[in-house]
Amino acid sequence: MNITNEKVTQYIDELYKPLTQELGQLRMKAEEANVPIILKDTESLLLNLIRIHRPKRILEIGTAVGYSSSCFAIVYDGAEVVTIEYNEETYETALQNIENLGLSDKITVYHGDGGEVIEKLYNEGSEPFDLIFIDAAKSHYKRFWDSAIKLAHQDTIIVSDNVLMKAMTVSSEYDIHGKHKTNIRKMQEYVQYINELDYCHTSVIPVGDGLAISVIDK
């Protein structure tokens, strides 16, 4: 079940235009292979956030095939993008796609666990990030947040994707076969957690598969 009316989603998707022909081809290839990349309406919103916020440094947790990080690097030429991918095969694919798009000088891809790589960056004295995008293992979102917040500053925007999980976060009745109980519980805890933090302002919106947009105020 979609978290928004299917006709509305279809209408919005029909308005979608890829940033470049090459990115359009990469999206099509990923979708045909059932690779989980950002949905079209999610992409449109994120890219407008970047156009407005003009982040100089972007951190992405969950590279997949490098599609979203490539979008980020292209939509704002002044951005330096750092992205982390856990799966080795997917990491290698992302490196190749980013190279093919001529973006290797703008995107740094790390292979490893999101939390561990972030801790390493922090310990090495990494500069903070202006935009952080969390889109990796859903049951680890809180751990990713707690690591990434060390590399945030006042006015950093943290975007968490898939927080409604096809409406399962709202109600377990949508988990028809009962296979996602742990992910549902942990995502519910995560959404509650970031909404109760006193150092940020969070809005959960039904775009794509659900986005939580948090603005740090500390």
Is pLDDT of 2 > 90? no
**Is the predicted pLDDT of residue 103 greater than 60, yes or no?**
yes
**What pLDDT is stored for residue 17 in this prediction?**
93
Burial class (CB in 10 A: 0-12, 13-18, 19+), 176: exposed
Burial class (CB in 10 A: 0-12, 13-18, 19+), 120: middle
Residue 94 has pLDDT above 60, yes or no: yes
Q: What are the residue ranges spanned by the domains of the chain?
A: 6-216
Instruction: DSSP for 129-188, please give it.
Output: -SEEEE-S-GGGHHHHHHHHGGG--TT-EEEEE-SSTTTTTT-GGG-TTS--HHHHHHHH
State pLDDT tens for residues 145-180.
Answer: 999 999 999 999 999 999 998 888 988 888 788 788
DSSP 12: H
Q: What is the pLDDT of residues 6-26, one digit of tens each?
A: 888 888 889 999 999 999 999
Q: Rounded to whole angstroms, what are the CA distances from 128 to 40, 55, 57, 72?
A: 28, 11, 8, 17
Q: In the chain, count of helices (H) and strands (E)?
A: 8, 7
**CA–CA distances in Å: residue 203 to residues 158, 159, 211, 212:** 11, 10, 8, 6
pLDDT digit string (tens) for 71-91?
Answer: 999 999 999 999 999 999 999
**Which tokens is 33 given?**
């292979």
6-216 has which fold? Rossmann fold (3.40.50)
Q: 161: which strand partners?
A: 211
Type of residue numbered 212: A
pTM of the model: 0.94
CA nearest neighbour of 218 among 149, 160, 159: 149
Helix (H, G, I), strand (E, B) or coil at 5: coil
Tell me the sheet residues that pair with 83: 60, 109
Over residues 107-142, the pLDDT tens digits come to: 999 999 999 999 999 999 999 999 999 999 999 999
Residue 56 carries which DSSP code? Answer: S
pLDDT at residue 110, rounded to an integer = 98
Place 218 in a pLDDT band, splitting at 50, 70 and 90: confident
* Residue 166 and residue 3 in contact, taking contact as beta carbons nearer than 8 Å: yes
